[in-house]
Amino acid sequence: MNWMKFKWLYFLLSAVVIIPGLFSLLRFGLRPAIDFTGGTLLEIRYPVDSPPPSAETIQSELANAGYEIYSVQPSGSENFIIRTRSIEKEQALAIENLLSEKTASPVEEIRFESVGPVLGRELLNKTVIAIILASLVILSYIAWRFKNAHFGICAVLAMFHDSLVLLGVFSLLGHFASVEVDSLFVTAMLTILSFSVHDTVVVYDRIRESQHHQPKTPFVNLVNQAVTETLSRSLNNSLTIIFMLIALYLLGGETTKWFVFALLVGTIAGTYSSTFTAAPLLVVWHNLTHRRQKKI
């Protein structure tokens, strides 16, 4: 099948997904969780017998009492997630008592998380180091594995493609749905980087193998052949992972929901990019160098 005939269409599709995300990333950035900024998260549950007030009411009520509230977000029908400046446990208890005044039975504390500002900054630094380190390890692995600049650079570009998709999606989600980026998101991102490379490696391996066996066949045909041969493997493997992730996203706990979503987005992007970004990029590069050689 002549997959590469439509290579510009694939790039266009990537662009359609990446550009809004990139715009949002530059314009709004990401929404860091208290892991990175420091602060307090208090999740409370209103008793069944009293109807909970709206998030705005809670926010203004707490603000009037002098608390520095960042946001109040409903979670499910009875739960609210309150984010504030880093506070002590006593103050959290005071908030709970304040809110309980309006209800028949006291509100229940589901979660209390407080991170000091110093710790947040420290984690941010460590996370940046982890990302750099992981990228370096993956890059040197690619360099060692391919010993060929074309393949190596294209694999890295495909990896960037996946990271951009993931970051863009979470920037948009952060802006429109207040989804935060925490240390688990970073974990998901690093996992996706390795997945992206591993999927690309399988396609590239096949191209190199057929290059070896059929040196006379034009490069585009080799790529087409390799894509045809690896597509079902790539799809099937991703499908099994996606089955597990979708089940976990729909049914799993609230804590890991966005973590699983990040993995899901990354897996889909990684599967797409290994066939429809990494392989066409090789062809484009090959054509460019080839044309130049002809001119000389």
User: What is the Cα–Cα distance from 29 to 48, expressed in whole angstroms?
Assistant: 38
CA neighbours closer than 13 Å in the CB half-sphere of residue 41: 20
Site for other proteins in 171-210 (CB under 8 A): 183-184, 186-187, 190-191, 193-195, 197-199, 201-202, 205
Q: Report DSSP letters for 138-195, one per residue.
A: HHHHHHHHH--HHHHHHHHHHHHHHHHHHHHHHHHHHHHH-PPB-HHHHHHHHHHHHH
Pick from 259, 277, 133, 117: which is nearest to 197 by CA? 277
Residue 5 sits in the site that holds other proteins (CB under 8 A): no
Q: What's the closest the beta carbon of residue 215 comes to other proteins, in angstroms? A: 18
Residue 130 sits in the site that holds other proteins (CB under 8 A): yes
User: What is the Cα–Cα distance from 225 to 59, expressed in whole angstroms?
Assistant: 60
- From candidates 1, 215, 253, 293, binder to other proteins by CB under 8 A: 253
Question: CA 135, 129, 116, 62: dihedral to nearest 10 degrees?
Answer: -30
Residue 110 sits in the site that holds other proteins (CB under 8 A): yes
Residue 160 sits in the site that holds other proteins (CB under 8 A): no
Q: What's the closest the beta carbon of residue 266 comes to other proteins, in angstroms? A: 11
User: What is the Cα–Cα distance from 274 to 271, expressed in whole angstroms?
Assistant: 6
Q: Which stretch binds other proteins (CB under 8 A): 22-30, 64-72, 118-126, 161-169?
A: 118-126
Contact 205, 155 (CB under 8 A): no
Contact 50, 199 (CB under 8 A): no
The first and second tokens of residue 151, run together, are: 């393949």
Residue 259 sits in the site that holds other proteins (CB under 8 A): yes
User: Residue 102 or 111: which CB sits closer to other proteins?
Assistant: 111
User: Residue 135 or 287: which CB sits closer to other proteins?
Assistant: 135
- From candidates 11, 94, 106, 109, binder to other proteins by CB under 8 A: 109
- From candidates 55, 98, 143, 241, binder to other proteins by CB under 8 A: 241
Q: What's the closest the beta carbon of residue 24 comes to other proteins, in angstroms? A: 26
Query: Could you list the residues that contact other proteins (CB under 8 A)?
Result: 88-89, 93, 108-116, 118-119, 122-123, 126-127, 129-130, 133-134, 137-138, 141, 145, 183-184, 186-187, 190-191, 193-195, 197-199, 201-202, 205, 229-230, 232-233, 236-237, 239-248, 250-256, 259-260, 263
